[in-house]
């Protein structure tokens, strides 16, 4: 399976909470053990590889994704986008102390579902 990892921006923790809540499946009950539709979002400060890997592995476990593929995806993205990641790290240091860098990971279907929800309003 293919997974896509994106770095989305810098926000405050309350905005991250709302972003995560909007991503939950509409109408899913607490007893429903199906994973949410759409990418998973996480906030980071500091923005470091070990924290992103830990978060991604937790998401993989909860969504029954391939943990090795997730780890490869995170490592590949971290290496391929090293300069962009450094820029995000610098920007995060310049932001107020309560700001977090948001990352999102999901399957192509998760990202497609997110885009469709955004287009519907």
**List of residues 6+ apart from 37 with CB closer than 8 A:** 23, 25, 110, 113
Domain hosting residue 78, numbered range: 43-102
Q: How confident is the model at residue 34 (pLDDT cuts 50, 70, 90)?
A: low
Give the angle subtended at the CA of 14 by the CAs of 8 and 19, to the nearest 5°: 45
* Structural domain includes residue 89: yes
Domain assignment present for residue 87? The answer is: yes
Tell me if 55 is assigned to some domain. yes
pLDDT in tens, 68-110: 999 999 999 999 999 999 999 999 999 999 999 999 999 999 9
| pLDDT (average), residues 61-67 | 94
Residue % of the chain over a pLDDT of 90: 72
Total domain count for the chain? 1
Q: How far is CA 18 from CA 13, 15, 46, 92, in A?
A: 9, 5, 21, 20
Query: Exposed, middle or buried by CB within 10 Å (0-12, 13-18, 19+), for 92?
Result: middle
What pLDDT, on the 0 to 100 scale, is given for residue 30? 47
- Domain-located, residue 115: no
Q: At what angle do helices 49-63 and 67-80 cross, to 10 degrees?
A: 150
* Residue 2 in domain: no
Q: Is residue 63 part of a domain?
A: yes
Alpha helices in 28-98, H assignment, sequence order: 49-63, 67-80, 82-94
Domain-located, residue 72: yes
Query: Cα–Cα distance between 64 and 85 in angstroms, integer?
Result: 27
Q: Quickly state the pLDDT bin for 32 (edges 50, 70, 90).
A: low
- pLDDT at residue 113, rounded to an integer: 84
pTM above 0.75? yes
For residue 33, pLDDT beyond 80: no
As a 3-state breakdown, the chain gives helix, strand, coil percent values, each rounded to 5, of 55, 15, 30
Is 33 contained in some domain? Answer: no
């Amino acid at each position: 399976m293919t997974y896509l990892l994106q770095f989305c921006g810098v926000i405050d923790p309350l905005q991250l909470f709302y972003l995560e809540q909007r991503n939950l499946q509409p109408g899913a009950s607490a007893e429903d053990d199906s994973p949410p539709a759409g990418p998973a979002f996480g906030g980071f400060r500091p923005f470091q590889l070990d924290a992103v890997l830990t978060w991604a592995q937790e998401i993989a476990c909860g969504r029954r994704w391939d943990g090795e593929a997730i780890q490869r995806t995170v490592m590949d993205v971290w290496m391929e986008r090293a300069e962009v990641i450094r820029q995000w790290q610098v920007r995060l240091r310049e932001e107020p102390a309560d700001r977090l860098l948001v990352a999102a990971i999901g399957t192509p279907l998760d990202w497609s579902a997110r885009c469709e929800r955004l287009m519907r309003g």
